Amino acid sequence: MPPIDALMVIMSPPPPVVDPANCPPGSSLSIGLCRTPEGYLRPLPEWLSEFLEQDR
């Protein structure tokens, strides 16, 4: 199998959501994914959450 590079990990969406109650606050279910009103996916990928925590 080919190696998985960083771009593949960054581009992977979060797992599909079935129940709107599982979406984080401030987001809503849209075609199986939780999105903010601006269209951002939620929850954030784990690596991005960790990066934002370090930036605070």
pLDDT surpassing 80 at residue 54: no
CA–CA separation, 44 and 27 (whole Å): 12
Other C-beta atoms closer than 10 Å to the C-beta of 49 total: 11
Q: What is the pLDDT of residues 3-22, one digit of tens each?
A: 656 655 555 667 788 899 98
Write down the domain spans for the chain.
16-55
CA–CA separation, 26 and 34 (whole Å): 9
pTM higher than the cut 0.75: no
Q: What is the pLDDT of residues 17-43, one digit of tens each?
A: 889 998 988 899 988 888 888 888 887
Per-residue model confidence (pLDDT) at position 28 = 92
